[in-house]
């Protein structure tokens, strides 16, 4: 899983629909999630950390969690089906009882729309996680210059690599991956 951060809320240039942008730790990939206007407002209100005159729905949800003895442990965006992201809220029972469930934390997972989960996460300060497969499928590169530099460095490495050096490296790696107690290993260099 990849811990993501909210990079911001933007507008799609074509559809004029709001998008919440989640960024990976390297800041090289962002995952855009299309949302509606009210969801964008709720996320932005949470990001700005300005208390509203009256509680918004997600402020109320955060308060209900506290009153109910629950803590939002993390948000997990776990799949995309038919261009729709799916998320869960991982809630922890916030108890002073150290003996709870044989010294294990007790968690509850609730299905949630990613936009609601993100709006709640920014209010509670919990982390937002995304499965690597989802990031790989839905992300867009945001640092083309750094990607180009990496590609140039990789090409330089490949150009400077001789076949003999590659064979030595693979041979050395193969020996370190094998079980040292295996006596049926072929001699090195075969």
- Which helix (H) or strand (E) segment holds residue 141: the answer is strand 140-141
Span 148-176, pLDDT tens digits: 666 677 777 777 777 777 788 778 877 65
Close Cβ partners of 36 (under 8 Å, ≥ 6 residues apart): 17, 18, 115
Q: Cα angle vertex 75, ends 70, 78, to 5°?
A: 135
Give the DSSP letter of residue 27: S
pTM of the model: 0.70
In terms of Cβ atoms closer than 10 Å to its own Cβ (0-12, 13-18, 19+), residue 95 is: middle
CA 40 vs CA 33, 87, 150, 181: distances in Å: 11, 17, 34, 59
178 pLDDT tier (thresholds 50, 70, 90): low
Res 147: pLDDT: 58
Q: How far apart are CA 3 and CA 65, in angstroms?
A: 22
Tell me: the pLDDT tens digits for 179-189? 544 444 444 44
pLDDT higher at 159 or 39:
39
| Per-residue pLDDT at 66 | 92
Taking 80 as the threshold, does the pLDDT of residue 46 lie above it?
yes
- Work out the mean pLDDT of the chain and round it to a whole number: 83
pLDDT band at 53 (very low <50, low <70, confident <90, very high): confident
**pLDDT tens for residues 103-153?**
456 899 999 999 999 999 999 999 999 999 999 999 888 766 665 666 677
**Exposure string for 30-55, b = 16+ CB within 10 A, e = fewer:** bbebbbeeebbebbbbbbeeeeeeee
pLDDT at 182: 45
């Amino acid at each position: 899983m990849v811990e993501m951060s909210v990079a911001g809320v933007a507008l799609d240039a074509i559809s004029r629909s709001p998008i919440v942008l989640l960024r990976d730790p390297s800041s090289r990939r962002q995952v855009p999630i299309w949302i509606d206007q009210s969801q964008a407002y709720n996320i932005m209100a949470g990001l700005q950390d300005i208390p509203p005159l009256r509680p918004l729905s997600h402020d109320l949800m955060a308060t209900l969690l506290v009153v109910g003895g629950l803590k939002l442990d993390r948000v997990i965006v776990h799949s995309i089906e038919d261009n729709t992201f799916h998320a869960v809220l991982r809630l922890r029972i916030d108890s002073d009882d150290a003996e709870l469930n044989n010294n294990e934390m007790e968690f509850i997972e609730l299905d949630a729309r990613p936009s609601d989960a993100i709006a709640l996460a920014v209010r509670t300060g919990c982390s937002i996680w995304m499965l690597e497969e989802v990031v790989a499928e839905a992300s867009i590169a945001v640092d083309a210059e750094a990607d180009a530099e990496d590609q140039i460095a990789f090409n330089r490495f490949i150009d400077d690599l001789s076949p003999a050096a590659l064979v030595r490296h693979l041979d050395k790696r193969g020996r370190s991956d094998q079980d040292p107690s295996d006596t049926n290993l072929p001699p090195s260099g075969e």
